[in-house]
Amino acid sequence: MRKELDEQLCRECPNLYADRGKSMMETCMYWGFDCMDGWKDIVRDLSLKLEALIVAMPEEERKSFKAAQVKEKFGTMRFYMTTETDEMEKLINEAEAASAVTCEYCGAAGTLRTQGWCFTLCDKCDVERPWRKR
């Protein structure tokens, strides 16, 4: 995910992404958001919902609920927390399901493609594979 999107998420959700600046020995969030920009709306929507749930908790409990890793795996988004409530788990599952039908490159409606490597792509990005041109 682009640097400015990473920074925006960390500003908007300081409790959820409190570990973002820590070392690679402490958290996988050291590497940031390991997914393409097409899922930015899914990640942001989920992040804002999780942040609101964290903020509603007693202050002494908040530090236990942080993002541990956000990445693509087998063509869909994975969102891991240090700990989560049942409500958080439900929101995460919904977001991960949404990533399976959203092009990870451009954000259009997509389909899971499994030609050697797994991607969720729209028809256009499946043909063009624009990230290869960088």
pLDDT in tens, 52-93: 999 999 999 999 999 999 998 999 999 999 999 999 999 999
CB atoms within 10 A of CB 1: 18
The mean pLDDT value for 4-33 works out to 90
Q: How far apart are CA 83 and CA 43, in angstroms?
A: 18
pLDDT band of residue 134 (cuts 50, 70, 90) is: very low
pLDDT at 59: 94
pLDDT band of residue 131 (cuts 50, 70, 90) is: low
CA distances from 121 to 34, 65, 70, 94, 124 (A): 16, 31, 19, 18, 8
